[in-house]
Chains A and B, each alone.
Chain A
């Protein structure tokens, strides 16, 4: 059958440039509410009635539960980007919208004049697609070098050794704390960003694995955050603090251990201590119990209790006084353990047990008949801790090999409600991601043999500096290209378009005070002019690389005063990711709405590929 007809059975939605633009602009208008210094929170109520507060672009977009495939594609790209870098999802959307707007105007002005296009709209779309691809190609090819030459020299390198300004002699030097403060300002708001960045720095200092790269601490906190923090609602945020050791989010099932007992020996159990008499599918023959082969039911029950007593006697001989169990134990276990002066913590989550294992160095008991000293963990204390409405178990670890390098600690995160503590925890996790991508910058250039030109920990002042500097560099690059290379007419146009698109970010930041945008712009321009007149700063960068800290008066310092910081690597990744997303969006030309399997006819259709519909749709 004819392809048009058969496709006609499905509702087809042809996508034009305007649709794409409109969709992205709506997303932009939502994220803009929480962008920049005047941005605020977005409050979501899920269908479960649960409230969620967020300033994070990725969370806002996910919570919108968009149905349209185009919008979902954008959200997927944002999510992918934000799980990698933890930051920049709002900038992502703003850049996308701006790129699309510019592509739209350019494409409408000079659509690809070709006879193959049936309509003006189709011509525009094709032209836009072409433009987007060229922009992406240009960015993949040149962006790394441009950033290295024109942006990085104004930046500074953060030192991992000194996290917070407190310990630094020169308090003017930028430090991780400043970077975190700017990050949290965009995530939890200006009133709580200092508190959160202080807490995070303290957390990082305590969890610093000596003789190991900074990224190992960041990976560790990111992966174990659920076990490392305790949300407590009903208190002001300023009550948040760090506590020594680990908080296990369960209460003692049997009485708490004696406070005077030190050190405390503990084991981790993964299964039941009291054996079940019969597993499913087994058959037990019961008799009167008079003959030896015919057993009374009570004999079996007595056997179960006796074996339990043996296990507990073994534990007692090892000096164990705390049992951490992954499952709920029987009443008999609780009672016998109490009599043996052992306390039990039941139903401990897997994450918390694995963290406990890692910090204590003990292996969990798999078979309770074999408990050896290697299963026994030594704790400095194990006591109840009351946090909000709940009583939890608080443990601290005895000196082990690892303890010499790290000071295990947990974060107590207070907030007005669950929505707020959730928001803080998410922000903290993303902060770890952001720091990771700052420290291990991934080269954005497509060429695999090219080494990453960004040095780890490179930061710039926040507030649009990156975009303004890059904008400047792109404009210059464009003009120099047009002078030197007359053959390639496309490139200068593309770099200029890109430069224009970048400006939307600082414009959005200074939306409420255009005067400040002008001031910043002028300041940066004069700085770059000076830069050009002074000899190249390669020597400076070199010396600064060698000792790792910022000793020479670098140009960055002029910029660093006052404002916050942001990571150059995150910024450049956002730009490239937005370009990739734009170019892949514009490659889609239609949406086909297929039926679900509930429909009898369409049952077969779901099994066949998209291309196959042409032939089979008729029957």
Chain B
């Protein structure tokens, strides 16, 4: 902005003066040009440092606890961390909400998006470009990235093959190991990753014609057991505190078992009475009349040879007793979320009428029932009659905090695996995608023809300045994976990401070659590498010749990262576009 500081100051004073005169209650807080405000800039910087320190498998954990002594959460995941950061500054909240919206759609790459977005804002400020030019350039460079990522021959993309679970497990493990607050050992992480892929595959229906409807993986968490005890069960596990007498009942032996599902309350109340007044004759007990009707209803159910009686709400104790005495297994208070899963599993239609004869087609079936004891919990496993896409995952961990984080990580993994059905590819992890993209953008922007420049309305120098900032932002995300003082580098042929530990001296560098971030490349002494965020010569990053024997060790979700990249750039652009803040503090 070409406004001089003096002019701006006097202008602000006059605004404040008139605002306070205009607004009687309490004046709205106005901030002109928020990115020139030192308070906001400090907050943005702090937020970036905080989020950077959490990034990746070796990220540092954060403990979140509130001021009223509530319980402490240990986490490094953006979906838990960002909601905990509440800022009075609406500018910060704008960025936060945008990232959280991405996380709630894609479950992954939240920290990536946040760090990239904050870096882009900082780079745009440092570049000295006018914000409207920076916005246009960012959009153009984003277009280069998304165009490249969608190409068939994109050098950082891997096609996922559903014939082998190898890449799926790699993808799952990358997500689970990027959540260090789960505190898993290598083998534990692998175990959970395999279970996640197993559960995911169970929810995909196999031989069903027409529209494919995915099933559901229900998670049950059990505290105090070793992680390796976690397991996946086909079918549905429901809590059954009272299983005494189930085994003895010979009814269990008739397979399959008939099931009835009630969605209305069977506690003896009537819901659709209206607001009128009842004038009850003396000596008449309406409760008893309702109970009589319930018992009659149950009689029909028993006559129809139902063996499993499930109710979403409460069942009257007398009715329960009656059913149990006839050898029927009763499950009450199932709750709404499990009702839909159970209708899917059994094929039953929920019943909510007390007077209508229950039609035969409303009954469902389970093939088999078994009792599972897991620690202190006793559960009934309901096996579907035919092929079904319902499974239950039991997650175990030593304590509540870690279990909480593990559950979050597992659900995210499940979501990300589902996203691969729509877009069966993955991106190279470990920072290699970021460095590769940065090298690509740098190379492309140098070759930009004058026509593009005039369409953008900027000069070659401005484009180079903008592209430099954009690439540095991408590289800084890759560099943020390193937390132990090591150096981040990029090789100058394929532009993969390499890290050198801090304690390695320059002369010993050749010995610490190892593998690149994603594990596809092995170091060799001839390789030329450059430190990230330095002025290395631009080059066109060559795709690796695919040796099928070498598989990537770290993979990121394509769908999530693709969206995160766009959300990060658009959020940065939005933030750069905000010229004035007004905060109603009434």
Contact = CB atoms under 8 A, between A and B. Distances in A.
Given A43-B581, A283-B276, A417-B97, A389 B105 contact: yes
Given A51-B94, A277-B274, A234 B355 contact: no
Interface string B546-586: 00000000000000000100110011011011111111111
Contacts of B292: 298
A565 B354 CA distance: 68
A274 B576 CA distance: 56
A191 B569 CA distance: 12
Interface in B204-232: 210-211
Interface in B346-366: 349-356, 359, 361-362
Interface in A37-78: 37-47, 51, 53, 60, 63-68, 71
B353 A334 contact: no
B274 A65 contact: no
B415 interface: no
Contact of B14 (A26, A65, A285, A296): A26
B482 to A, nearest CB: 29
Contact of A45 (B276, B350, B563, B582): B582
B97 A51 contact: yes
Interface string B8-27: 00010011001101111100
A316 B368 CA distance: 35
Interface stretch (B129-137, B189-197, B386-394, B524-532): B129-137
A238 B565 CA distance: 13
Contacts of B350: 334-335, 338
Given A26-B18, A51-B90, A64-B28, A339 B101 contact: no
A101 B130 CA distance: 30
A26 B139 CA distance: 33
Contacts of B279: 283-286
Contact of A389 (B25, B94, B104, B293): B104
B352 A332 contact: yes
A45 B90 contact: yes
A65 B359 contact: no
Q: Interface size bucket, B side?
A: 35 or more
A39 B94 contact: no
Interface string B132-172: 10011001000000000000000000000000000000000
Contacts of A420: 574
Interface string A270-282: 0000101111111
A189 B283 CA distance: 76
B579 A40 contact: yes
A26 B210 contact: no
Contacts of B278: 278, 283-284, 286, 297
Contacts of A22: 14, 18
Contacts of A65: 23, 28, 584, 586
Interface stretch (B54-62, B241-249, B265-273, B427-435): B265-273
Interface in B252-266: 263-264
A234 B98 CA distance: 7
Contact of B15 (A26, A34, A388): A26
Contact of A274 (B272, B286, B356): B272
A361 interface: no
Given A277-B273, A286-B278, A335-B349, A34 B362 contact: no
A538 interface: no
A191 B91 contact: no
Interface stretch (A138-146, A299-307, A466-474, A568-576): A299-307
Contacts of B286: 286, 297
B356 A336 contact: yes
B275 interface: yes
Contacts of A64: 23, 28, 582
B566 A236 contact: yes
Given A43-B90, A289-B289, A238 B580 contact: no
B3 to A, nearest CB: 10
Interface in B327-348: 343
Contacts of A289: 289
Nearest to A189: B577
A512 B2 contact: yes
A190 B106 CA distance: 28
B39 to A, nearest CB: 15
Given A63-B582, A191-B135, A279-B275, A288 B15 contact: no
B290 interface: yes
Contacts of A234: 101-102, 104-106, 563, 567
8 contacts: A51-B90, A68-B22, A255-B343, A280-B276, A285-B281, A286-B284, A338-B349, A338-B350
Interface of B: 2, 11, 14-15, 18-19, 21-25, 28, 30, 32, 34, 90-91, 93-94, 97-98, 101-102, 104-106, 130-132, 135-136, 139, 210-211, 263-264, 270-281, 283-284, 286, 289-290, 292-293, 343, 349-356, 359, 361-362, 563, 566-567, 570-571, 573-574, 576-586
Given A64-B582, A68-B22, A338-B349, 7 more contacts: A41-B577, A67-B23, A189-B135, A260-B210, A283-B276, A304-B272, A339-B349
Interface of A: 22-23, 26, 29-30, 33-34, 37-47, 51, 53, 60, 63-68, 71, 189-191, 233-238, 255, 259-260, 274, 276-289, 294, 296-298, 301-302, 304-306, 309, 330-332, 334-336, 338-339, 388-389, 416-420, 512
